[in-house]
Structure 1
Amino acid sequence: MANSTDDQYDAIVIGTSQGGRFLPLELAKAGRRVALVERGPLGGVCVNTGCTPTKTMVASARLAYQARRGAEYGVRTGPVSVDLAAVRERKRAMVAGARQNYASRLAQDGLDLIEGEAYFTGPRTVEVALTGGGTRPIGAPVIVVDAGTRSKPLTIPGAADVPVLDSTSIMELDDVPEHLIVLGGGYIGLEFGQMFRRFGSEVTVVQSRTRLLMIEDDDVADEVATILRDEGITVLTSATPERVERLDGGRLRLTVRTEDGVRRIEGSHLLSALGRVPNTEALTPEAAGIRLDDRGFIVVDDRLETSVPGIYAMGDIKGGPAFTHLSYDDYRVLHANLIGDEKASTRGRVVPYTVFIDPQLGRVGLTEREARAEGRAIRVAKLPMGAVVRAIETGETRGFMKAVIDADSGEILGCAVLGSEGGEIMTMIQVAMLGGLPATAMADAIFTHPLLAEGLNSLFA
């Protein structure tokens, strides 16, 4: 690699997800010469194919659902239908706005945006296959990889011969599917499954594990399944997909093996939501000596440094929970260490998350199962949303609040809030945990009546 001034930088950032889009800007503001390499649209998964577009479409689906419930509230409405092309255009407009907002910030002295695909040629050197053709070698003593993940491909027999949707392509459909078959009972599969049920599709969710949302407590997962079934979604658990085939007229037939034997499901569309894989192959990490785990994710320490000094990884590509806010916290750690010369760490951080089904599932801290597995003496507080005045008034009584409390100290160890604005209520409990407030403080606090938060009094009492 040539070592011309144009090729040498103080830092290279590969990818522009939630963390990667802020770090190069701050490095440049700190006086570093920075190259930002992006092979696709600016903003990464969150802006382009994740949070922004999906939650925009979730909002449309909720409005359709609420419109159909009008009579429950004394509001007369006519037949409700969904123009999926219009939903898609609203989603595209949101994404375009978010992209533009980020692009407008890149006019920063010392920051070069290089459009193309980066791959390592050594521990300090990168080659970029430029989008417009040709290649460009660059190098830096500090390299940060933020290249993200992509949908895991479906590999069952027949999958190569039928159209298989993923979490990106399903958002580009022109029309509402007649019958959508969803493979996967995790966050992505359930959000899309409920969304398209509310758009008007028949929906079948096929989960190979014994229940949905396997990392949640049994009572939480069971309640989620009940909510989805009440909306008319068919939920199959312990159902392993074996093959898929195309039928006459373009329809599909999925064969699954269940505890009761083989079952065949016919549908119009198939969504594979079986997880995600890291975008590490194209990076040729072996050329730099970067160690990967057995699933291909980049291994990092608690300061986000890889096995190669000076090379860091942030966001989904390093494995662990795949949340935008976690990527942003990775940025916090790297900003502190690379610019502030501090010793920030990811050690001990508590990561909240929300599943944007309706009602939402907000989660933070230990589950009941995890606390018991650690041998902790705990108390479990649980309150049905039907006991919360605000939920009754708004007709949103599905779900429950649940908190795990240390029996000796009264410390709040974690919570799950499955209910209207569950993510927001969970965040209130998270703040109490961050502040070290015991359960008694939440029980005795004065919360405004009648808000959903008022239910925290009863929960912790």
Structure 2
Amino acid sequence: TITAPGKIAVKTEKGDEELEAKDIIIATGARARDLPFAKADGKRIWTYRTAMTPPEMPTKLLVIGSGAIGIEFASFYNDMGADVTVVEMLDRIVPVEDEEISKFLEKSLKKQGMTIMTKAGIKAIDAGDKGVKAEIEDSKGNKETLDFSHVIVAVGIQPNIETIGLDQLGVQPDDRYHIKTDEYCRTNIEGIYAIGDCTAGPWLAHKASHEGVIAAETIAGGHPHTMDVNNIPGCTYCHPQIASVGLTEAKAKEAGHDVKVGKFPFIGNGKAIALGETEGFIKTVFDAKTGELLGAHMIGAEVTELIQGYTIGKSLETTEEDLMNTVFPHPTLSEMMHESVLDAYGRVLHM
């Protein structure tokens, strides 16, 4: 427990001990959030922890929630041969992604044999020794009870911050759950920093690691750089893969931008054809007035490797002219990144 700025009370086998430090970094992480009517038991109802080291292979799997974690496990177990159903309360899967990416992924997963239910909810879960009964309400309000062998609950995370003394210290929350920090990972209490999944999203390993660097640089008193969450790439390791950085087309328009949008399909790329990976596309979003790269969104083979090119571009405040004048190697998947930019300005070459 943090008892005061610079002081931590620790309970050990030898008794209570007090540690002192000029600065404290809170990095307590998070855990999977439970549904009140579907508490994880590690047997029939799993969180992502159990799903990574399962006691047995599910035969008929229900995944509740279609964010990155839910879709990754749904895709993995579907590839492994399980009969998979995904239930999402919102109107589309992977809802933080660009809408065109969501539609493409849903079509692809259904083609692979997965059942996708959007605008749907779980009304009740009854787990027994031999399986799980789930009452599901579909988008039209119809209720049906279906049998599954296992359930994965993927409805978000809960930060591990309840018992470390933050309320008594007056550390400000970001929302109902997470710690509020500034661009240098500082809380509102001097000398106390927070990084990773106990702070605001996106909740990604690479974001947490980078926050650790920023906090250390700030404490060391050098020349710390700031965290810009708009330049953090997101990767979803489903099949096909998803990767994105920056604003979606809809979010860019909501923010008041007049946008130019470019797209290029995998089927138009020689390397993708040679690899036998022709499913997917790359989409780029630019500010029509300034040429600023606002966002990039990809679905397809190895896009989690490609996205860093656009991430570097955004960090360097690149424009469409910089990207159009860049030479991309041939034959590579990265050529699609170039073509997508060219398409946004009516200059696409191979389509």
TM-score, normalised to structure 1, is 0.70
**2:80 aligned residue:** 199
Contact in 2 for aligned 1:158/1:244 (Cα 8 Å) = no
**1:24 aligned residue:** none
**Using CA pairs below 8 Å that are at least 6 residues apart, which structure has the higher relative contact order?**
2
> 1:157, CA displacement in angstroms?
6.4
**2:304 aligned residue:** 423
Residues 159 and 126 (structure 1), Cα distance of their counterparts in 2 relative to 1, 3 Å cut: closer
- State how far apart, in whole Å, the 1-side matches of 2:323 and 2:186 are: 39
1:154-175 deviations in Å (ceiling 9; x for gaps): 2126877983200101222243
SS at match of 1:282: coil
Deviating more after overlay: 326-335 vs 305-314: 326-335
**1:164 aligned residue:** 45
Give the letter for the 1:278 counterpart.
Answer: P
1:369-411 deviations in Å (ceiling 9; x for gaps): 1110011111100111111111112111111100001212222
> 1:217, CA displacement in angstroms?
2.0
Choose which of 228, 233, 236 in structure 1 pairs with 2:114.
233
- State how far apart, in whole Å, the 1-side matches of 2:32 and 2:120 are: 21
- State how far apart, in whole Å, the 2-side matches of 1:427 and 1:435 are: 12
Deviating more after overlay: 409-418 vs 144-153: 409-418
Contact in 2 for aligned 1:158/1:243 (Cα 8 Å) = no
Give the letter for the 1:196 counterpart.
Answer: Y
Contact in 1 for aligned 2:4/2:169 (Cα 8 Å) = yes
**1:302 aligned residue:** 183
Structure of higher CA gyration radius: 1
- State how far apart, in whole Å, the 1-side matches of 2:14 and 2:47 are: 29
Matches within 5 A, 1:280-299: 280-299=161-180
1:81-107 deviations in Å (ceiling 9; x for gaps): xxxxxxxxxxxxxxxxxxxxxxxxxxx
Does 2:251 correspond to 1:367?
Answer: no
> 1:266, CA displacement in angstroms?
1.0
Choose which of 121, 138, 148 in structure 1 pairs with 2:3.
121
**1:442 aligned residue:** 323
- State how far apart, in whole Å, the 2-side matches of 1:353 and 1:244 are: 31
Give the letter for the 1:190 counterpart.
Answer: I
- State how far apart, in whole Å, the 2-side matches of 1:435 and 1:312 are: 27
Structure 1: 5+ residue runs without aligned partners? 1-118
**1:258 aligned residue:** 138
Residues 377 and 123 (structure 1), Cα distance of their counterparts in 2 relative to 1, 3 Å cut: same
> 1:421, CA displacement in angstroms?
0.9
- State how far apart, in whole Å, the 2-side matches of 1:221 and 1:181 are: 19
**1:380 aligned residue:** 261
Residues 125 and 356 (structure 1), Cα distance of their counterparts in 2 relative to 1, 3 Å cut: same
> 1:242, CA displacement in angstroms?
0.8
SS at match of 1:283: coil
Residues 170 and 456 (structure 1), Cα distance of their counterparts in 2 relative to 1, 3 Å cut: closer
Residues 363 and 347 (structure 1), Cα distance of their counterparts in 2 relative to 1, 3 Å cut: closer
Matches within 5 A, 1:105-116: none
> 1:226, CA displacement in angstroms?
1.1
Contact in 2 for aligned 1:354/1:360 (Cα 8 Å) = yes
Does 2:125 correspond to 1:244?
Answer: yes
Contact in 2 for aligned 1:120/1:283 (Cα 8 Å) = yes
Give the letter for the 1:202 counterpart.
Answer: D
Residues 415 and 139 (structure 1), Cα distance of their counterparts in 2 relative to 1, 3 Å cut: same
- State how far apart, in whole Å, the 2-side matches of 1:159 and 1:304 are: 32
Give the letter for the 2:212 counterpart.
Answer: Y
- State how far apart, in whole Å, the 1-side matches of 2:40 and 2:317 are: 51
Contact in 2 for aligned 1:120/1:287 (Cα 8 Å) = no
Does 2:43 correspond to 1:137?
Answer: no
> 1:280, CA displacement in angstroms?
0.5
Does 2:90 correspond to 1:209?
Answer: yes
Residues 440 and 174 (structure 1), Cα distance of their counterparts in 2 relative to 1, 3 Å cut: same
Deviating more after overlay: 444-453 vs 217-226: 444-453
> 1:259, CA displacement in angstroms?
2.1
- State how far apart, in whole Å, the 2-side matches of 1:275 and 1:194 are: 18
Residues 215 and 438 (structure 1), Cα distance of their counterparts in 2 relative to 1, 3 Å cut: same
SS at match of 1:203: strand
Residues 421 and 282 (structure 1), Cα distance of their counterparts in 2 relative to 1, 3 Å cut: same
- Greater helix share, structure number: 1
**2:278 aligned residue:** 397
Structure 2: 5+ residue runs without aligned partners? 343-351
- State how far apart, in whole Å, the 2-side matches of 1:392 and 1:157 are: 44
Does 2:265 correspond to 1:358?
Answer: no
Residues 427 and 344 (structure 1), Cα distance of their counterparts in 2 relative to 1, 3 Å cut: closer
Give the letter for the 2:135 counterpart.
Answer: T
> 1:343, CA displacement in angstroms?
5.4
Does 2:218 correspond to 1:330?
Answer: no
Contact in 1 for aligned 2:244/2:295 (Cα 8 Å) = yes
Residues 421 and 380 (structure 1), Cα distance of their counterparts in 2 relative to 1, 3 Å cut: same
**2:349 aligned residue:** none
Contact in 1 for aligned 2:240/2:301 (Cα 8 Å) = yes
Question: Percent identity over the alignment?
Answer: 27
Residues 208 and 139 (structure 1), Cα distance of their counterparts in 2 relative to 1, 3 Å cut: same
Contact in 2 for aligned 1:156/1:241 (Cα 8 Å) = no
Contact in 2 for aligned 1:242/1:255 (Cα 8 Å) = yes
Give the letter for the 1:217 counterpart.
Answer: D
- State how far apart, in whole Å, the 2-side matches of 1:246 and 1:327 are: 35
- State how far apart, in whole Å, the 1-side matches of 2:297 and 2:155 are: 24
Give the letter for the 2:130 counterpart.
Answer: G
Contact in 1 for aligned 2:98/2:297 (Cα 8 Å) = no
- State how far apart, in whole Å, the 2-side matches of 1:139 and 1:160 are: 39
- State how far apart, in whole Å, the 2-side matches of 1:296 and 1:158 are: 19
Choose which of 46, 51, 56 in structure 2 pairs with 1:175.
56
